[in-house]
């Protein structure tokens, strides 16, 4: 055996390695086995003394090295433990409702309703995941502005039985997307999910979510967002001072305009206040809804307008706030709108008397507008999901199925009118993406997204229509070669484009984001540039209602020409809406900058000092834009909301994989994919 002593006396060839071995004899000692503590101590000490100085130094160095390693690994393992401990502490405090801890935006957790597997008229809705226990505060999201501390008060309004649910199954959805395509490159497979929609809705749905995301660091709001909040407050001040509870503010005459007599601006603005974090204003408006919003009124309302603004506004506010008051009101108006569908063709009438339960077409015709009858589906379908009453969805879906089968389309493009008796398109031969047809195209895509991308007829109609747009309506202007969407009337192309068409770049981008073809995104990029130019080439920097594009270069002429009858601006949202989508999907800051320019021009030319904003008559006259004395409800419902979202870098502030906006900018949950 090689002993320690021998090792000490031998001179090793290499000094960087020393082997220390104790022989059994030495270990046991002459006296045989003795395991007493004193003996062991003595024996160790003797051995230690027998070691050379070098050996001792090496051993001491090894011990020291091991000790240092131990300390380092302990501290690095400690961090995760520390953060775990902190997280659970935070969670506990959130559960306890202690304010001011975590600031976050509303998380949308789509909670699709159970539906049976039978074939039928309905989009299949995947089963709901078991709810998580509530652990977050309700109330408008805290966006790092200094909001009034009214959480507790707000909470009392909310249905505390409402609970959060599992997040949308993004992973699954991503897998589905892969089998479709991507705007980053791929091919569409139209038959990939032919699953039939289920026919029965079994139980009422819960709000998508009002929960705060536990893990997420708050994204600070930007200065531009602060400016939007200021603008909203200014508009709201005018409404509150001069038009409270009425449909629209007339800011110059300090009065109001009544359309349906249902507090249209207030309802349209509810979810905007929630998203902007305006708790005080929200609560005040909520009180009005609770005590003053009465639908039992002998009044004719337009089915489409009241669906997208009132029903849509109430449903989205219910989803954001979890407050059952809004669902009750949504049910009430939903039921009162149903008589509109009692027509020979089941294509709804344009007008309903919500007090009497009667419906009728406009006095001069039995036609309805195509965009109107095909842009109420997101809301009625969601109402069915929430109430477990299938009648809403059934009525709305029948319209789409019927329109899907109709002749009279031109490569997927639809005429502008449809007859409520025959169910056929009328006034054939005129095709536009503007007024009276616009949101038909928007809702094809959005219903497909809402339903979990399974209703292939909707997708087919959408894809075909976009091909129709490319084939018949796209042209380039001079001198800047802007791509624009014109109109077709009985085979004649017109270079006329409504500002309303500017919803299209956003919709195309949304489709591309959801797996549709890359050239939709390319087209979106070209069209949003055009929509921006519709502002930038005008004297006030604000777009007119309609432009005509120059097809031939003429000295001294811009791309955009404006006719005297078209030079008004109604504070419309479409361009800002599309800028929002484009920024979300590309991250290109130029879209924010363009939106900021537009925002500043709204402030410059449409802001009324005593409160409110006004539509104007002449975007070409900066010294006198001729205020019209009317603030449309969509300025608060849509324009300022999209401005605020455009200037945000928080993709979870209405996450587009969880919410789909209705055509009035009211976010509704995407039903989780099966
Ligand atoms: C809004 O009511 C909706 O966006 C609708 O789809 C079109 N018109 C206005 C806004 O311009």
Secondary structure element (H or E) that encloses residue 211, with its range: strand 211-212
Is 545 assigned a catalytic role? yes
Residue 289, Cα to own-chain centre: how many angstroms? Answer: 24
% residues pLDDT > 70 (the chain) = 71
Q: How many residues can be counted in the chain? A: 674
Which tops the pLDDT comparison, 248 or 166? 248
Report d(CA 596, CA 264) in Å as an integer. 27
Is residue 9 predicted with pLDDT exceeding 60?
Answer: no
Q: How far is the CA of 638 from the centre of ligand 1 (A)?
A: 8
Mean pLDDT of 623-650: 98
φ, ψ at 578 (rounded to 5°):
-70, -35
Q: Is 648 within the bounds of a domain?
A: yes
Q: How confident is the model at residue 135 (pLDDT cuts 50, 70, 90)?
A: very low
- Residues 209-226 have pLDDT tens digits of 544 445 678 899 999 999
- Residues 264-283 have pLDDT tens digits of 999 999 999 999 999 999 99
Confirm whether residue 663 is marked as ligand binding.
Answer: yes
Is residue 196 predicted with pLDDT exceeding 90?
Answer: no
- For 463-489, b/e burial (b = at least 16 CB within 10 A) is bebbebbeebbeeebeebebbbbbbbe
- Residues 147-158 have pLDDT tens digits of 333 332 333 333
Q: Is the CB of 634 under 6 A from ligand 1?
A: yes
Which tops the pLDDT comparison, 159 or 439? 439
Q: How confident is the model at residue 672 (pLDDT cuts 50, 70, 90)?
A: confident
- As a whole number of Å, the CA-based R_g of the chain is 33
- Residues 176-188 have pLDDT tens digits of 333 444 444 434 4
Q: How confident is the model at residue 43 (pLDDT cuts 50, 70, 90)?
A: low
Is residue 45 predicted with pLDDT exceeding 80?
Answer: no
Mean pLDDT of 644-660: 98
Report d(CA 499, CA 193) in Å as an integer. 35
**670 neighbors 450 (Cβ within 8 angstroms):** yes
pLDDT value of position 136: 37
Q: How confident is the model at residue 480 (pLDDT cuts 50, 70, 90)?
A: very high
Average pLDDT for the chain: 80
Is residue 432 predicted with pLDDT exceeding 60?
Answer: yes
Q: How confident is the model at residue 119 (pLDDT cuts 50, 70, 90)?
A: very low
Q: Whose CA is nearest to atom 6 of ligand 1?
A: 663
Q: How confident is the model at residue 203 (pLDDT cuts 50, 70, 90)?
A: confident
What are the Cα distances from residue 545, in Å, to 106, 435, 600? 34, 11, 19
Ligand 1 mutation pick, 247, 302, 308, max ligand atoms within 8 A of CB: 308
Q: How far is the CA of 664 from the centre of ligand 1 (A)?
A: 6
Q: Is 129 within the bounds of a domain?
A: no
Alpha helical stretches, state H, 14-52: 24-28, 37-50
Report d(CA 211, CA 502) in Å as an integer. 33
pLDDT value of position 61: 74
Is 574 assigned a catalytic role? yes
pLDDT value of position 205: 77
Q: Which of 121, 545, 559, 629 is catalytic?
A: 545
Q: Is 78 exposed, middle or buried (0-12, 13-18, 19+ CB in 10 A)?
A: exposed
Q: Is the CB of 443 under 6 A from ligand 1?
A: no
Report d(CA 295, CA 267) in Å as an integer. 13
Expressed as residue numbers, the domain containing 575 is 223-261+372-665
- Residues 510-541 have pLDDT tens digits of 999 999 999 999 999 999 999 999 999 999 99
Q: Is 424 within the bounds of a domain?
A: yes
DSSP calls for 313-347: HHHHHHHHH--HHHHHHHHHHHHHHGGGG-STTSP
Mean pLDDT of 135-154: 38
Mean pLDDT of 444-467: 98
pLDDT value of position 209: 54
Which tops the pLDDT comparison, 353 or 204? 353
pLDDT value of position 455: 97
Q: Which of 124, 165, 271, 438 is catalytic?
A: 438
Structure tokens at 525: 């990029």
Mean pLDDT of 202-211: 66
Is residue 284 predicted with pLDDT exceeding 90?
Answer: yes
Is residue 591 predicted with pLDDT exceeding 80?
Answer: yes
- Residues 551-581 have pLDDT tens digits of 999 999 999 999 999 999 999 999 999 999 9
Report d(CA 45, CA 85) in Å as an integer. 45
DSSP calls for 381-407: HHHHHHHT-THHHHHHHHHHHHHHH-S
Q: How far is the CA of 634 from the centre of ligand 1 (A)?
A: 7
Structure tokens at 606: 């449409």
Report d(CA 579, CA 532) in Å as an integer. 9
Q: Is 334 within the bounds of a domain?
A: no
Is 305 assigned a catalytic role? yes
Any idea what the CATH number is for the domain that residue 557 is in?
1.50.10.10
Q: Is 334 exposed, middle or buried (0-12, 13-18, 19+ CB in 10 A)?
A: buried
- Residues 57-102 have pLDDT tens digits of 777 777 777 766 555 544 433 333 333 233 333 333 333 332 222 2
Report d(CA 108, CA 212) in Å as an integer. 9
Q: Is 434 within the bounds of a domain?
A: yes
Q: Is 227 within the bounds of a domain?
A: yes
Q: Is the CB of 572 under 6 A from ligand 1?
A: yes
Q: How far is the CA of 438 from the centre of ligand 1 (A)?
A: 9
Report d(CA 325, CA 538) in Å as an integer. 45
Q: How far is the CA of 653 from the centre of ligand 1 (A)?
A: 22
pLDDT value of position 92: 33
Q: Is 33 within the bounds of a domain?
A: no
Is 223 assigned a catalytic role? no
- Residues 383-413 have pLDDT tens digits of 999 999 999 999 999 999 999 999 999 999 9
Ligand 1 mutation pick, 307, 500, 577, max ligand atoms within 8 A of CB: 500
Q: Is 616 within the bounds of a domain?
A: yes
Number of domains in the chain: 1
Name the nearest CA neighbour of 232 among 528, 539, 612. 612
No. of helices (H) and no. of strands (E), the chain? 23, 20
Q: How confident is the model at residue 54 (pLDDT cuts 50, 70, 90)?
A: confident
pLDDT value of position 200: 53
């Amino acid at each position: 055996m090689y002993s320690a002593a021998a090792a000490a006396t031998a001179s090793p060839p290499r000094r960087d390695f020393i082997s220390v071995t104790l022989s059994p004899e030495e270990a046991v000692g002459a006296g045989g086995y003795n395991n007493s503590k004193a003996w062991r101590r003595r024996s160790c000490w003797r051995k230690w003394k027998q070691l050379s100085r070098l050996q001792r130094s090496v051993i001491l160095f090894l011990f020291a090295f091991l000790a240092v390693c131990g300390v380092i690994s302990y501290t690095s393992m400690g961090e995760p433990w520390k953060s775990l401990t902190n997280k659970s502490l935070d969670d506990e405090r959130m559960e306890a409702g202690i304010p001011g801890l975590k600031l976050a935006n509303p998380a949308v957790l789509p909670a699709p309703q159970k539906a049976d597997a039978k074939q039928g008229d309905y989009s299949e809705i995947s089963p709901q995941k078991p709810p998580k226990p509530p652990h977050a505060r309700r109330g408008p999201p805290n966006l790092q502005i200094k909001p009034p501390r009214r959480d507790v008060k707000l909470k009392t309004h909310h249905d505390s039985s409402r609970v959060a649910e599992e997040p949308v199954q993004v992973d699954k959805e991503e897998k589905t997307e892969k089998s479709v395509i991507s705007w980053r490159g791929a091919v569409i497979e139209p038959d990939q999910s032919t699953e039939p929609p289920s026919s029965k809705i079994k139980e009422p749905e819960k709000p998508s979510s009002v929960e705060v995301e536990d893990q997420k660091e708050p994204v600070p709001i930007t200065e531009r967002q602060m400016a939007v909040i200021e603008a909203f407050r200014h508009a709201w001040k005018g409404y509150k001072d001069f038009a409270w509870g009425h449909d629209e503010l007339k800011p110059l005459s300090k009065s109001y305009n009544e359309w349906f007599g249902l507090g249209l601006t207030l309802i349209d603005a509810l979810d905007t206040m929630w998203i902007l974090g305006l708790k005080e204003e929200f609560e005040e408006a909520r009180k009005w809804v609770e005590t003053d919003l009465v639908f039992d009124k002998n009044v004719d309302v337009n089915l489409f307008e009241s669906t997208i603004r009132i029903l849509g506004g109430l449903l989205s506010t219910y989803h954001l706030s979890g407050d059952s008051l809004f669902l009750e009101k949504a049910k009430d108006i939903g039921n009162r709108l149903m008589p509109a569908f009692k027509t020979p063709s089941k294509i709804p009438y344009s007008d309903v008397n919500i007090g009497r339960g009667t419906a009728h077409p406009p006095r001069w015709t039995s036609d309805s507008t195509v965009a109107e009858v095909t842009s109420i589906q997101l809301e009625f379908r969601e109402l069915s999901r929430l109430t477990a009453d299938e009648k809403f969805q059934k009525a709305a879906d029948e319209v789409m199925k019927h329109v899907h089968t109709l002749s009279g389309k031109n490569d997927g493009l639809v005429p502008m009118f449809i007859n409520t008796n025959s169910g056929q398109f009328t006034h054939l031969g005129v095709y536009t993406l503007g007024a009276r047809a616009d949101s038909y195209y928007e809702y094809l895509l959005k219903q497909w997204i809402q339903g979990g991308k399974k209703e292939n007829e909707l997708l087919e109609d959408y894809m075909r229509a976009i091909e129709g747009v490319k084939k018949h309506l796209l042209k380039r202007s001079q001198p800047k070669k802007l791509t624009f969407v014109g109109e077709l009337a009985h085979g004649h192309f017109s270079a006329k484009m409504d500002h309303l068409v500017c919803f299209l770049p956003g919709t195309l981008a949304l489709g591309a984001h959801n797996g549709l073809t890359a050239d939709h995104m390319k087209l979106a990029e070209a069209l949003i540039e055009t929509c921006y130019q519709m502002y930038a080439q005008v004297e006030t920097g604000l777009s007119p209602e309609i432009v005509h594009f120059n097809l031939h270069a003429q000295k001294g002429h811009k791309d955009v020409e404006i006719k005297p009858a078209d030079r008004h601006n109604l504070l419309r949202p479409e361009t800002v809406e599309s800028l929002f989508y484009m920024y979300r999907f590309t991250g290109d800051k130029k879209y924010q900058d363009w939106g900021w320019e537009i925002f500043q021009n709204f402030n410059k030319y449409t802001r009324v000092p005593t409160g409110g904003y006004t539509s104007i008559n002449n975007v070409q006259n900066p010294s006198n834009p001729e205020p019209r004395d009317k603030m449309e409800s969509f300025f608060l419902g849509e324009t300022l909301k999209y401005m605020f979202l455009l200037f945000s870098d928080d993709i979870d502030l209405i996450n587009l994989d969880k919410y789909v906006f209705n055509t009035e900018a009211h976010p509704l949950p995407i039903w989780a994919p099966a």
